[in-house]
C-alpha cells in the first residue's frame, strides 16, 4: 500500500476551514499500533482519509476497528504510531483537534436518567455551545423532536442510536467518526441514517463509518479500508474493489453448446451452467462486448447478457477469510 | 426534518472550557432527582430536635434556664447527625457524578471531544465542591432559622436568642468547621473510590462502607491490642479517618465551664461537644485530627488523579 506523504497546509493547523481540496488529508494514522497484553489489536495501521470523503472502515468482529477509533479519539493510548486529525497530532493537540470531531463509539452512550434534550444540553454546556436553537435543530435532524422530553431510559435502541448521532452533530464538527451507526436501526431507520449522512457529506463534512452492514457502506462510502487482525488488508474505492469481479449471466437457446464453448476458453474456465440453463461466466478481459462477439462467433447468439455486480460482502469475505491474506499494512 | 445549517458555526477552533464543563456537571447533578429528594427529606427530619425542644416540657424548661448549654447541645446533636447524613448524601452524589459517566459510557463522549481527563475530574470535583458548599450553607441556614424560630417561640421574643453569647457562636462555628472537613473528606473518598472502580456500584460499596468499616476497625484493633498485649494496634486508631472525624469536634470544643448571664441571674454552664461515632483509642488534639483528615484527602486526590491520568478509557 502506498500512502501519499502529504503535509497538510499550514492553514489547516489553525482549524480554519480551508478551500475545498479533494486531496487534503483530514485523518491519518501512521503505523498505529495497540497491544493489549499479548494480543495485538491494531498492528501498524496506516490510513488516510481525505476531506469530504465518506470513508468506510470495515473488518470482521475483533478486527480492531473500535480500538483504532478509540485511539483516534484520544481515549486509549497507542502502543506506538500516531494519529493526526486536521494535520495535528491528536495526543499533542487534544482539545484543538478533537473539538472538531463528532463521534459515536459502539453503543450510544447517554445518561439514561435524563431526557433526550437534557442529554444534549449537558454536552452542549460542556462543549461551550449551549444554544437552544442548535439543540432543536439536531433533534429535528435525527427525528426525535417529539420524544425530546422523555427520559432516555424509555427510548428504543434505534432512538438512542439517533440521539447518539445528534450528540455527535451538536456543534457541527468537521469530521464525524461513527462506529456502527446503523446498530439497532430498523430498515427505515437505516435509510434515514443513510440520507442524513449523505446530506452531511454534501456539506463537505468528512465522515468515517465503521460498519458491519456492508450493503450500507457500499451505498454511501466513497472509499473503504478493510482491516483484519489489526492489519490493513486494502484501501480502495468500492468501484475498484468490485470492478471486474462481477460475472455475466447469459440466456441462450443452446445453453449446453455455448457453455462447452465458453469452458474451452482460458477466461471461461470458471463458468457454470445453472439449473435454469443460464450460464454464469467471466468475459474476455472483463469486456461484455467481447463475450457477445465470441458467442456470435461460435454460432450461439444470446437472447440476453446481463452483468451481475459482485456485492461488497463477497469481496470482503474473500479478503478477510484467510488470516494469511491479512498482510496489506505498511 | 429540518435542513442542516449550511453556515459554518462560530464555534470552530474553540476548546472546551473548564467552567463550561463544571456547568455541564452541575446541570447533570441538578437532574439527579433521587438525590435531591434525599436532601430535602434530611432537611425535614432536622426539624424534629427543635420541635422537641419547643414542645417537650422538660426540654423547654431547660432551654429557658440554661439557654446557651441547651441550645449548644441541640446544635451539636443536629450538626453531628448532619455530619453523618450530609456525608452519606454527598458520597452518593459524588459516586453518581463520577460513576454514571463511566457506567453509562458518557465519559467517552466528553473525552472524545477533547476534554482533558484531569480537567474533567477537576470540573467534577469543583461541581461537587460547589454543591457541598451550597448544601452545607443551606443546612446551616436552615438550622439557624429553626433555632431562631424555636428560641423565639419558647422565649416569646428575641430575649433568649440575644442571650447566646460570643462563646456560643464561636463553638458553633468550630463545630461547623468540623462538619465541613468531614463533608470534604467524604467527597474525596467517594471520588477516589468511584474512579478506582469506574462504576456506581463499586463507588457506593466503598464510599458508604468505608466509615462503618474503619469505625468497626477501631474495635477490632482494640481486641487485637488486648490479645497481643501490644499498644501498637491501639495506637493505629489515631490514624483512622472515621474515628478522627468523629473525634474532631470533641477535640475542637473541650469541655468548658463558664458563667453566663441569664434572665434568672448568673449561672454556671458546662458545654462540651457531642459527636456520633467511635473515637480513636488514643486521642490527640484538634490539629492532629485535621492533619489526619488532610492526609487522607490528599491520598484520595492523588489516587483519583493518577488513575484518571494513567488509564485508558475503555468505557
Ligand atoms: N480493553 C481491552 N483489553 C484487552 N483486549 C481488548 C480490549 N479492547 C479490545 N481488545 C481486543 O482487541 C481486539 C480488537 O477489538 P475491537 O473492539 O477493536 O474490534 P472491532 O473491530 O471493533 O470488533 P467489532 O466488530 O466486534 O466491534 C479484539 O481481539 C479484542 O478482544
Ligand atoms: Mg467495534
**Tell me: the pLDDT tens digits for A172-204?**
899 999 998 888 788 888 888 888 888 888 888
Q: Which run of H or of E encompasses A140?
A: helix A132-141
- What's the rounded mean pLDDT across residues A105-133? 88
B140-175 exposure pattern, b = at least 16 Cβ within 10 A, e = fewer? bebbeebbeebbeebbeeeebbebbeeebeebbebb
| CB-CB neighbours of B274 under 10 Å | 18
CA of A6 to the centre of ligand 1 (A): 30
Alpha-carbon span A6 to B123, nearest angstrom: 38
CATH number of A247-308: 3.30.70
| pTM, full prediction | 0.79
Closest Cα to residue A280, out of A240, A253, A250, A310?
A: A250
- CB contacts of A94 in chain B (<8 Å) are 114, 116
- Backbone CA torsion sign across B181, B183, B187, B189: positive
Verify whether the Cβ–Cβ distance A125 to B106 is below 8 Å.
no
Contact of B279 with B243, CB cutoff 8 Å: yes
> Is A75 in CB contact (< 8 Å) with chain B?
yes
Alpha-carbon span A296 to A258, nearest angstrom: 10
B33 belongs to a structural domain? yes
B11 belongs to a structural domain? no
- CB contacts of A71 in chain B (<8 Å) are none
At which residue does the C-alpha cell 456506581 appear?
A: B200
Nearest CA to ligand 1 atom 22: A66
Contact of B270 with B210, CB cutoff 8 Å: no
> Is A66 in CB contact (< 8 Å) with chain B?
no
For residue range A297-323, list pLDDT tens digits in order.
999 999 999 988 777 777 788 888 865
Helix axes B166-197, B286-310, angle to 10 degrees: 30
What are the backbone angles phi and psi of residue A307, rounded to the nearest 5°?
Answer: -100, 130
Alpha-carbon span A38 to A170, nearest angstrom: 39
Alpha-carbon span A197 to B15, nearest angstrom: 25
- Residue A328, burial from CB neighbour count under 10 angstroms (0-12, 13-18, 19+): middle
For residue range A252-280, list pLDDT tens digits in order.
999 999 999 999 999 998 899 999 999 99
Verify whether the Cβ–Cβ distance A113 to B100 is below 8 Å.
yes
- What's the rounded mean pLDDT across residues A54-72? 92
Helix axes B200-228, B67-103, angle to 10 degrees: 130
For chain A, positions 110-149, list CB contacts with chain B under 8 A.
110-114, 118, 121-130, 134, 136-137, 140-141, 143
Question: What is the pLDDT at residue B128?
Answer: 93
The set of residues, in sequence order, having a beta carbon less than 8 Å from that of B64 and lying 6+ positions away, is: B154, B155, B160, B263
Nearest CA in chain A to B106: A109
CA of A190 to the centre of ligand 2 (A): 18
Geometric angle at alpha carbon B297, from B169 and B39, rounded to 5°: 60
Question: Which of A38, A41, A57 best tests ligand 1's pocket when mutated (most atoms within 8 Å of CB)?
Answer: A41
**Residue A15 predicted with pLDDT over 60:** no
- Using CB atoms, pick whichever of B4, B14, B100 lies closest to residue A203: B4
Least confident of A57-66, A149-158, A214-223: A214-223
For residue B152, what is its C-alpha cell?
Answer: 423565639
Give Rg (Cα) of chain A.
24
- Taking the CA of residue A69 as reference, the ligand 1 atom at the shortest distance is 18
Verify whether the Cβ–Cβ distance A203 to B6 is below 8 Å.
yes
Cα dihedral A93, A95, A99, A100, rounded to 10, equals: -10
Closest Cα to residue A319, out of A253, A229, A246?
A: A229
Question: What is the pLDDT at residue A303?
Answer: 93
B7 belongs to a structural domain? no
Closest ligand to Cα A70: 1
Question: What is the pLDDT at residue B220?
Answer: 93
Closest ligand to Cα A42: 1
Beta bridge partners, A207, equal A54, A176
Verify whether the Cβ–Cβ distance B109 to A99 is below 8 Å.
no
- Taking the CA of residue A106 as reference, the ligand 1 atom at the shortest distance is 27
> What distance lies between CA A38 and its chain's CA centroid?
29
Give me the half-sphere count of Cα atoms (radius 13 Å) on the Cβ side of residue A123.
Answer: 34
Q: Look at residue B221 and give its three-state secondary structure.
A: helix
**A217 DSSP assignment:** H
Domain hosting B79: range is 18-310
Alpha-carbon span A92 to B196, nearest angstrom: 26
> Is A73 in CB contact (< 8 Å) with chain B?
yes
- Residue A47, burial from CB neighbour count under 10 angstroms (0-12, 13-18, 19+): buried
Question: What is the pLDDT at residue B86?
Answer: 86
B166 belongs to a structural domain? yes
**Residue A22 predicted with pLDDT over 80:** no
**A254 DSSP assignment:** T
- What residues in chain B have their Cβ under 8 A from chain A's Cβ atoms? 1-2, 4-6, 8-9, 11-17, 20-21, 23-25, 27-28, 31-33, 100, 104-116, 312-315
At which residue does the C-alpha cell 466513497 appear?
A: A222
Closest ligand to Cα A71: 1
Nearest CA in chain A to B107: A109
Strands (E), chain B: 256-262, 265-271
> Is A107 in CB contact (< 8 Å) with chain B?
yes
Question: Which of A45, A65, A233 best tests ligand 1's pocket when mutated (most atoms within 8 Å of CB)?
Answer: A65
Is the shortest distance between the CB of B314 and ligand 1 below 6 Å? yes
Question: What is the pLDDT at residue B257?
Answer: 57
- CB contacts of A100 in chain B (<8 Å) are 12
Q: In this predicted complex, what is the ipTM?
A: 0.75
Question: What is the pLDDT at residue B8?
Answer: 39
Every domain range in chain A assigned CATH 3.30.70: 247-308
- Using CB atoms, pick whichever of A16, A111, A125 lies closest to residue B104: A111
Geometric angle at alpha carbon A60, from A55 and A64, rounded to 5°: 70
For residue range A126-164, list pLDDT tens digits in order.
888 768 899 999 999 888 999 999 999 999 888 898 899
B4 belongs to a structural domain? no
- Taking the CA of residue A68 as reference, the ligand 1 atom at the shortest distance is 18
Count of domains forming chain B = 1
The pLDDT mean for chain A works out to 85
Every domain range in chain A assigned CATH 3.40.50.300: 12-100+173-242
The set of residues, in sequence order, having a beta carbon less than 8 Å from that of B116 and lying 6+ positions away, is: A94, A95
B255 belongs to a structural domain? yes
Alpha-carbon span A271 to A274, nearest angstrom: 10
Block means of pLDDT (10 residues each) for chain B, length 315 residues?
Answer: 39 62 91 82 84 83 81 84 88 93 89 88 94 89 89 80 82 89 94 95 95 92 91 91 91 66 63 77 89 96 93 78
B150 to A136, A156, B49, B264: CA distances (angstroms): 51, 53, 10, 20
If you count DSSP H runs as helices and E runs as strands, how many of each does chain A have, helices first?
12, 14
Question: What is the pLDDT at residue B261?
Answer: 57
Nearest CA to ligand 1 atom 25: A61
B224 to B161, B218, B232, B234: CA distances (angstroms): 49, 10, 10, 8
Contact of B91 with B186, CB cutoff 8 Å: yes
* CATH architecture of residue range(s) A12-100+173-242: 3-Layer(aba) Sandwich (3.40)
- What's the rounded mean pLDDT across residues A282-290? 87
- What's the rounded mean pLDDT across residues A37-55? 93
CA of A108 to the centre of ligand 2 (A): 12
Amino acid at each position: 500500500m502506498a500512502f501519499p506523504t502529504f503535509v497538510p497546509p499550514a492553514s489547516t493547523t489553525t482549524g480554519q476551514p480551508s478551500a475545498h481540496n479533494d486531496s487534503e488529508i483530514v485523518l491519518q494514522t501512521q503505523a498505529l499500533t495497540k497491544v493489549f497484553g499479548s494480543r495485538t489489536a491494531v498492528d501498524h495501521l496506516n490510513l488516510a482519509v481525505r476531506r469530504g470523503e465518506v470513508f468506510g472502515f470495515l473488518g470482521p468482529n475483533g478486527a480492531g476497528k473500535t480500538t483504532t477509533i478509540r485511539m483516534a479519539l484520544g481515549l486509549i493510548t497507542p502502543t506506538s504510531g500516531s494519529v493526526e486529525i486536521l494535520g495535528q497530532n491528536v495526543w499533542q493537540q487534544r482539545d484543538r483537534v478533537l473539538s472538531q470531531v463528532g463521534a459515536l463509539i459502539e453503543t450510544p452512550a447517554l445518561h439514561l436518567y435524563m431526557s433526550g434534550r437534557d442529554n444534549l444540553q449537558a454536552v452542549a454546556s460542556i462543549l461551550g455551545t449551549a444554544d437552544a436553537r442548535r439543540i432543536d435543530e439536531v433533534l429535528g435532524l435525527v427525528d426525535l423532536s417529539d420524544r425530546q422530553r422523555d427520559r432516555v431510559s424509555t427510548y428504543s435502541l434505534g432512538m438512542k442510536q439517533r440521539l447518539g448521532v445528534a450528540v455527535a452533530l451538536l456543534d457541527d464538527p468537521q469530521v464525524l467518526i461513527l462506529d456502527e451507526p446503523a446498530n439497532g436501526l430498523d430498515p427505515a431507520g437505516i435509510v434515514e441514517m443513510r440520507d442524513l449522512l449523505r446530506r452531511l457529506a454534501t456539506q463537505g463534512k468528512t465522515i468515517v463509518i465503521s460498519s458491519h452492514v456492508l450493503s450500507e457502506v457500499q451505498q454511501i462510502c466513497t472509499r473503504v479500508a478493510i482491516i483484519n487482525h489489526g492489519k490493513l488488508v486494502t484501501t480502495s474505492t468500492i468501484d475498484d474493489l468490485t470492478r471486474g469481479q462481477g460475472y455475466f449471466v447469459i440466456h441462450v437457446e443452446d445453453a449446453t453448446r455455448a457453455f462447452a464453448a465458453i469452458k474451452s476458453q482460458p477466461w471461461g474456465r470458471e463458468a457454470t451452467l445453472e439449473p435454469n440453463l443460464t450460464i454464469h461466466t467471466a468475459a474476455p478481459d472483463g469486456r461484455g462486448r467481447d463475450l457477445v462477439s465470441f458467442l456470435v462467433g461460435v454460432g450461439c447468439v444470446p437472447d440476453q447478457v446481463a452483468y451481475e455486480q459482485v456485492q461488497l460482502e463477497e469481496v470482503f469475505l474473500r479478503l478477510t477469510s484467510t488470516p494469511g491474506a491479512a498482510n496489506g499494512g505498511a | 426534518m429540518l435542513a442542516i445549517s449550511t453556515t459554518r458555526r462560530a464555534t470552530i477552533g474553540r476548546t472546551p472550557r473548564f467552567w463550561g464543563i463544571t456547568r455541564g456537571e452541575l446541570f447533570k447533578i441538578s437532574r439527579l432527582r433521587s438525590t435531591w429528594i434525599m436532601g430535602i427529606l434530611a432537611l425535614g427530619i432536622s426539624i424534629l430536635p427543635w420541635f422537641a425542644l419547643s414542645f417537650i416540657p422538660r426540654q423547654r424548661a431547660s432551654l429557658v434556664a440554661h439557654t446557651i448549654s441547651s441550645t449548644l447541645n441541640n446544635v451539636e446533636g443536629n450538626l453531628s447527625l448532619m455530619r453523618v447524613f450530609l456525608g452519606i448524601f454527598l458520597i452518593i452524589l459524588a459516586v453518581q457524578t463520577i460513576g454514571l459517566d463511566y457506567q453509562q459510557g458518557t465519559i467517552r463522549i466528553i473525552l472524545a471531544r477533547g476534554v482533558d481527563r484531569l480537567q474533567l475530574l477537576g470540573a467534577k470535583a469543583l461541581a461537587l465542591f460547589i454543591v457541598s458548599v451550597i448544601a452545607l450553607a443551606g443546612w446551616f441556614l436552615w438550622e439557624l432559622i429553626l433555632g431562631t424560630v424555636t428560641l423565639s417561640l419558647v422565649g416569646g421574643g428575641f430575649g433568649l436568642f440575644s442571650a447566646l453569647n460570643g462563646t456560643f457562636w464561636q463553638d458553633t462555628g468550630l463545630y461547623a468547621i468540623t462538619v465541613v472537613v468531614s463533608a470534604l473528606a467524604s467527597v474525596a473518598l467517594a471520588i477516589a473510590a468511584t474512579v478506582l472502580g469506574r462504576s456506581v456500584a463499586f463507588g457506593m460499596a466503598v464510599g458508604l462502607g468505608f466509615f462503618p468499616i474503619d469505625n468497626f476497625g477501631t474495635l477490632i484493633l482494640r481486641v487485637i491490642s488486648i490479645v497481643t498485649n501490644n499498644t501498637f494496634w491501639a495506637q493505629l486508631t489515631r490514624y483512622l479517618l472515621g474515628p478522627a472525624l468523629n473525634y474532631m469536634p470533641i477535640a475542637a470544643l473541650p469541655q468548658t465551664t463558664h458563667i453566663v448571664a441569664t434572665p434568672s441571674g448568673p449561672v454556671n454552664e458546662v458545654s462540651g461537644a457531642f459527636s456520633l461515632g467511635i473515637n480513636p483509642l488514643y486521642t490527640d488534639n484538634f490539629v492532629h485530627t485535621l492533619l489526619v483528615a488532610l492526609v487522607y484527602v490528599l491520598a484520595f486526590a492523588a489516587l483519583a488523579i493518577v488513575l484518571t491520568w494513567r488509564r485508558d478509557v475503555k468505557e
